Every structure is written in structure tokens, then in C-alpha cells.
Structure 1
Amino acid sequence: MAPLRGWGPRGKRLRGFAPHGRWRTLTFLGALRCDKLTAPCVFDGPINGECFHAYVRQQLIPTLKPGDIVILDNLGSHKAKAIRDAIRAVGARLWFLPKYSPDLNPIEQAFAKIKHWMRQAQKRTIEETWRHLGLLADTIKPEECANYFSNAGYASVKT
């Protein structure tokens, strides 16, 4: 990811390297608990129902416990019956956010921080980006996670 802005000497043009050509899409998925970011996964390309179902089966389900609440936005691939059934089968509850409500989704704040760090790192290859994302997922502290939930209106979260 290229930085959005920068600093340079007054009166001098700021120059930075930004790759040209065909852009590739990477999709980062994860689950936010009140104490950590869990089940991180990167897909090479945009997300679709099949990719999201694979993520839920292989990454998310093993981290869930009975009584957990999984909050999803209204993306079409999140609403598949197989996904709902798989999450409920482990004893977790499923809540869908209202339309157009990213401020109620605490993981959006964590993702904004990760994107900021990615722009600062300026990784230029897919492999470097994947490695760096893996490192960043572990740097989000428990108190930050609790703050994301509190800021999104889930004030009863305690760590």
C-alpha cells in the first residue's frame, strides 16, 4: 500500500515511489475478540461466498466457543445458510449489523489501524505484504481491542 501523504522540505516537491501497472486485490479477514485479533487470513483477490465459507470452516470455527457472538455486516457472502449453520453448530450466536453501519463494527477500527501501518511499511510485493500483515495482527493489544468494542457502543465489554 502506498502512503497517502508525506513530509518534505518547505518549497521542495515531495517525491515518493508508487508502483504503476495492474493493481492486485488482497482481502484480509479476521475476528476481533475483546482481548485479541484472532483467525487472521489473507486471500489473494476479492472475497466471494466460496472464499468466505472456506474461511469460516478452516479459520473461524476452530476459534469459537459455545456462547460466543459472531457479528457480521450485511455482505451477501456472509448470509449463506451453510455459514449460519456452521457458526451455530459450535454453539455461537450470530448477529447481523444494520445496513450502512460501519461505526457499529469494532473490527473496522482495528482494520483502519492495520491499513495505516501497512501504508507506513510500503511493502511492494504480495509476499512481503502477507508476511507483514501476519506480524501486525499480533501487535494489537488487549486494551486496544476492548477500546474498539467500547467505541462501537458495546460498553459492557470487560477485560
Structure 2
Amino acid sequence: RIVFLPPYSPHLNPIEESFSSVKAHIRRNWQAAQDSEQPEIYLLEAASTVTSEKARGWIRHSGYI
């Protein structure tokens, strides 16, 4: 049985939570982003804030497990 998500339900979509986490990191550390000579490295650092524990929590919260 396939259960589809409602049309727009970011609270049920774990990837939206991870995007939110990365964007929050960038907002908190915006000066470092502007001072960075390699913005792609800074973006990787921001993405590394998405830990496996956070991902498990978001997936659990969405009801997938």
C-alpha cells in the first residue's frame, strides 16, 4: 500500500528539515561565509551539520520509522 504525502507538507519531509538546518547554520555564521575564499568548502561545512542523529530524529518525527 502506497501512502502519498499531502501536496505540501514540509513537516513530513525529512529533507526539508535538513535544508532548514543547513540554512540556519549559514544564517548564524554568515560572516564566515562572506569571508571565505572558497565558498564551496564553507557550504560543505554547513552541510556537515546534518548528523546521522539529526537525520534519524527527522525521519522518526515524519513517521517513516
TM-score by length of 2: 0.69
The C-alpha deviation readout for 1:74-129, integer Å capped at 9, x for no partner, is xxxxxxxxxxxxxxxxxxxxx8633121111011111111111101111237x644
More strand by share: 1
Task: Name stretches of at least 5 consecutive residues in structure 1 with no aligned partner.
Answer: 1-94
**5+ residue gaps in structure 2?**
none
The RMSD of aligned alpha carbons is: 2.6
- Amino acid corresponding to residue 101 of structure 1 in structure 2: S
Counterpart CA distance in 2 for 1:143 and 1:152 is: 14
Contact 2:21 2:49 in 1 (8 A): no
| Structure 1 partner of 2:21 | 113
The higher radius of gyration belongs to 1
Is 1:150 matched with 2:55? Answer: no
For 2:21 and 2:50, the matched residues in 1 are separated by 9
* Structure 1 residue 130 corresponds to structure 2 residue 40: yes
Conservation of the 8 A alpha-carbon contact between 2:14 and 2:58: yes
TM-score (norm 1): 0.33
Moved over 4 A (4+): none
Percent pairwise identity: 35
SS in 2 for 1:124: helix
Shift, 1:140, TM fit: 2.1
Q: What is the rounded CA distance, in whole Å, between the counterparts of 2:8 and 2:51 in structure 1? A: 28
